[in-house]
Structure 1
Amino acid sequence: MSATPELKRVVLGALVGTALEWYDFFIYGTAAALVFNQLFFTQADPAAGTIAAFATFGVGFVVRPFGGVLFGHLGDKIGRRSTLIITTVIMGVSTGLIGLLPTYPSIGVAAPVLLTLLRVCQGLGAGAEFGGAATLLAEHAPPGRRGYYASYAQTGVQIGLVLGTSAFLLVQLMPEEDFRSWGWRLPFLVSFALIGVALYVRLRVAESPVFREMERSREIVKLPIKDAIVRHPRNFLIGVGAHICDTAVVYTLSTFSVAYAIAELGLSNRTALLGVIFFGLTVIVLQPVYGHLSDRVGRRPLNLFSVVFVAVFVYPYFLMVGTGVPVVVWLAMMIMGAFGFAPQVAVQPVFYAELFGARVRYTGFAASRELGAALAGFSPLIGAALAARLGGAPWLVAAFLVATALISFGAFWASRETKDLDIGVVDPVRRPLVEE
């Protein structure tokens, strides 16, 4: 079945919107690994400054569940499209303002305080972004192709990762003094311009037909978060656990691994950042492949395979990175991306959309997923602290990733296959799920 013009606009809107919003979210992590420890926490020693910078990175995850509940509520009350337009503005403005912040030497302790406040704003916007984009895609997609089309929401996230990392790779070509004084600001300031691009694309997207039908039949509920938890308690808990492993993996690779490769292995910033770019490009290529496969074999098998691979490969991953050989480091990141990360995140948009009934889908999706993100979002901070206990060695970090894989394995094992579920059903709890 070929995509209709309307569906193509929805795919483009999700792809561009998530790419630009997650560009905003990811560049903070890269900056935390490279410069924030020196610019905003200069009273601390280098290791403590890195931990402090990663702590502010983690703050964004703490507030993401609140963003999921707040904007998820709006998404289930006023519509998916309208809510996504609001989150686009919040993310773009807060990210751009980071590029204008004075540093610690200029205004003292106010600098990290303001940085943290803007990170909070980023977290609120990010908490609703992915859930809204994925819900809109899943509700527009035709039956039997939902996994494929919904996977483009996650493709946008990985494009954001590649764009953000590439932006810092480019500005690091500047003389070191210029990069430290003002060059690092450029990737953040670009966000002001990207707001216009994202809004232009999203304003051309039609509202979800499922939401329009709910409005027509007056199926909209007063308090979606209450209904999501009360009517879907099992699936809400599954949603929390399902997002822990992939969150830990991507932020360990894109932030902790960068800091580890530079500080402990003596690799250049360029080498470390290229590894993240290769990781992201690998995942981008495989997203539609795994999304299509999930429409054939189901969501559950791919999810289970992915977390098992993480648990098995994480120690070989750090052995390969520990060689300090650039090609081997890049290969390790690409392998983890191809088999430990890509299957989970390709299936994730449709997996979460199918966990909840239509009238609480946005809230249930965003709130449960972002609560899982909050639990795992401090992975770079935890990784830095664990590595410090072993004098920089990453083996406790590997054990931590295995633990996150086991948690998500339990969530996926408890889940039921939903690829044949009617996504327009208001409350699927009242209907049996299709078992494979």
Structure 2
Amino acid sequence: MSNAVNAARPGSPQMSNEERRVLAGTLVGTTIEWYDFFIYAQAAGIVLGPLFLAPVAQENPGLAQVIAFATIGISFLFRPLGAVVAGHLGDRIGRKKMLVFTLILMGASTSLIGVLPTYAQAGVLAPFLLILLRVLQGFSAGGEWGGAALMSVEHAPKNRRGFFGAFPQIGVPIGMILATATLWTLTTTMGPAFNEWGWRIPFLFSIVLIVVGYMIRRAVEESPVFKALQQRHKESSAPLGQLFRYNFKEVVLTALIFIANNAAGYLLIAYFATYAVKALGMDRPSVLLATTLASFGWLVFTLGGGIVSDRIGRVRTFQIGYAFLALWAIPMWFLIDTKNIVWYFVALFVMTFGLGLSYGPQSALYAEMFPAKVRYSGVSIGYALGAILGGAFAPMIAEMLMNEFKASWTIGLYIAVAAVISLVAVSLVKETKGVDLHVAEAHAEYVHDHPEEASR
């Protein structure tokens, strides 16, 4: 057991300096990673279609928008590969290096998008290069989340895992806030120039974030907590065959549990603002500002979800979140369709209550579902598969539903169905709160075949 865990026993009211460094490292790292990811998602809905898919945009703007949203989903297909490779190389060169590597890879890919030639400048080479950089972004994201989640949860006191595990989670809404606020500032101050060349600025800004993130993670690298984490990662590595032999059920459940949250989250990230501006004719700066402010609800409720799960359990917290999301998914569209910016904000803010309760406890739940030997691979792969089934093509599906039925509530029905699926999946999980992460094994078969592990 690491010094960090010893330093913060369940009854301890104090948080050690080592724990603070771990939480800072997970929070800053995921914030930067997801700023990069979200800048692209939002730009895809605003400007990338006409710039990189010019011939299609001229003949069929709706189809160009669908294709632009599809490029968001392409990167998700490479997340499982990123998860597998990051785990494998982490065994050989250390996970601390992989966390820095994924941060730099994501930042570099994002920055390069900011200097890409458009279709008018390079023809078909432009969308090809854009997709290539999206693939690198997806690969990077696949290797990032599992490491950050386990870093926080496995160094937490047993009765505060939900709270600690919420820190890499709130990096997502913070990244969303940072990305949306950046776009709002630029679109407000630049006007038409934003569509011409100003869209490149938020991508290039990632260079600054790379430097900041690198310095923070290098600082964490020198701490005893990070060294203990590396040792833990070596102990938790296992062949993928073992994971799927003994924990296939857990991998499937983690994927299904994540579907609805990721789908709804990516509508918040990439679709709502585009729909409000392009379909409803609302003012873009006002919509981006309202989306930014609503994202603060996602941040607060995500942190609250982690805290609540330490009291009532992970499963119960998820159930409340998904039940609420299923009930709100359709009514919120009638508020959005009023074209009133206040009701638009209310619709999104209320939705973030369900998003937060079904996201804050995720790190803790996933870590507690897998035995130590396969935890890194299990958590990362389950998360990546859930992202493919959930958010990868959610904006594209939403756009296709609108094109087909001309009714926004059909998108709400899509999210409600996803919420029911995830609600059923999480209800099949036996409550994990309080599980001993160091000795617990998920299957009796594994203990039978590896009795030496059960005695650890």
TM-score range, shorter chain: over 0.9
**What secondary structure, in the 3-state scheme, does the structure 2 residue paired with 1:415 have?**
coil
Which residue does the alignment assign to 1:371?
385
Q: Are 1:187 and 2:196 counterparts? A: no
Cα deviation for residue 77 of structure 1 reads: 5.4
Asked whether the 8 Å contact 2:237–2:376 carries over to 1, the reply is no
Q: Deviations over 1:320-359 (max 9, x none)?
A: 1111111111011000002x10001101111111121223
Could you say which residue in structure 1 is the equivalent of 2:53? 41
Instruction: Name structure 1 gaps, 5 residues minimum.
Output: 432-436
Match of 2:19 among 7, 20, 27: 7
How far is the alpha carbon of 1:214 from its aligned partner?
6.6
* Aligned counterpart, 2:118: 103
* One-letter amino acid matched to 2:288: L
- Structure 1 residue corresponding to 2:432, chosen from 387, 407, 418: 418
Residue 148 of structure 1 is matched in structure 2 by: 163
* Aligned residues of 2:105 and 2:140 also touching (Cα < 8 A): yes
Separation in 1 of the partners of 2:421 and 2:174?
27
- Between the aligned partners of 1:416 and 1:222, the Cα distance in structure 2 is 24
Corresponding letter in the other structure for 1:14: T
Q: 1:138-217 alignment to 2 at 5 Å?
A: 138-205=153-220, 206-207=225-226, 209=228, 211-212=230-231, 215=234
CA drift of 1:271 comes to 2.3
Identity of aligned residues (%): 36
Q: Secondary structure at the match of 2:268?
A: helix
Change (3 A) 1:220 1:238: closer
Query: What SS does the aligned partner of 2:369 have?
Result: coil
What is the TM-score when the length of structure 1 is the normalising length?
Answer: 0.94
| 1:276 equivalent in alignment to 2:291 | yes
Unaligned regions of 5+ residues in structure 2, if any? 1-12, 448-456
**Residues 276-312 of structure 1, C-alpha deviation per residue, up to 9 Å, x if partnerless?**
2122111212333221111111000011111111111
The correspondence for 1:358, drawn from 359, 367, 372, is: 372
Cα deviations across residues 363-407 of structure 1 (Å, max 9, x unaligned)? 11111111110112100000000100123x212211211121121
Sort the Cα spacing of 1:90 and 1:214 in 2 relative to 1 into closer, same or farther, 3 A: closer
- Are the aligned partners of 1:210 and 1:424 in contact in 2 as well (CA < 8 Å)? no
**Other-structure match for 2:264:** 249
What is the RMSD computed on CA atoms of the aligned residues?
Answer: 1.6
8 A Cα contact 2:22 2:226, kept in partner: no
Q: Which residue of 2 aligns with 1:81?
A: 96
8 Å contact from structure 2 (residues 95, 233) kept in 1: no
Asked whether the 8 Å contact 2:300–2:356 carries over to 1, the reply is: no
AA in 2 matched with 1:358: A
Deviates more, 1:171-180 or 1:34-43: 171-180
> Contact conserved, 2:247 with 2:442, CA < 8 A, in 1?
no
- Secondary structure in structure 1 of the residue aligned to 2:358: helix
Deviates more, 1:269-278 or 1:143-152: 269-278
Return the match for 1:398 from 412, 427, 450: 412
Corresponding residue of 2:149 = 134
Q: Hey, what does 1:22 align to over in structure 2?
A: 34
Q: Which range is displaced more, 170-179 or 88-97?
A: 170-179
CA distance in 2, matches of 1:267, 1:346: 32
8 A contact 1:139–1:209 mirrored in 2: no
Q: Name the residue aligned to 1:383.
A: 398
Shift in Å, 1:211: 4.9
For 1:214 and 1:398, locate their aligned partners in 2 and report how far apart those are by CA, in whole Å.
Answer: 40
Paired residue type of 1:336: M
Distance change >3 Å, CA 75–CA 343, structure 1 → 2 = farther
1:321/1:79 CA distance change after superposition, 3 Å? same
Per-residue deviation at 1:117?
0.5
In 2, Cα distance between equivalents of 1:222 and 1:304: 31
Give the conservation status (yes or no) of the 8 Å contact 2:50–2:64.
yes
For residue 412 of structure 2, what is the amino acid of its counterpart? A
Secondary structure of 2:419's aligned partner? helix
User: Which residue type is aligned with residue 24 of structure 1?
Assistant: D
| Structure 1 residues 48-95: Cα deviation after superposition (integer angstroms, max 9, x where no partner) | 111111011111111112212221333455544232111111101000
Alignment of 1:343 with 2:343, yes or no, is no
TM-score, structure 2 as length reference: 0.90
1:159–1:284 contact (8 Å) kept in structure 2 = yes
Q: How far is the alpha carbon of 1:209 from its aligned partner? A: 3.5
Q: Residues 214 and 180 of structure 1: is their aligned pair in 2 closer, same or farther, counting only changes over 3 Å?
A: closer
- Between the aligned partners of 2:314 and 2:79, the Cα distance in structure 1 is 25
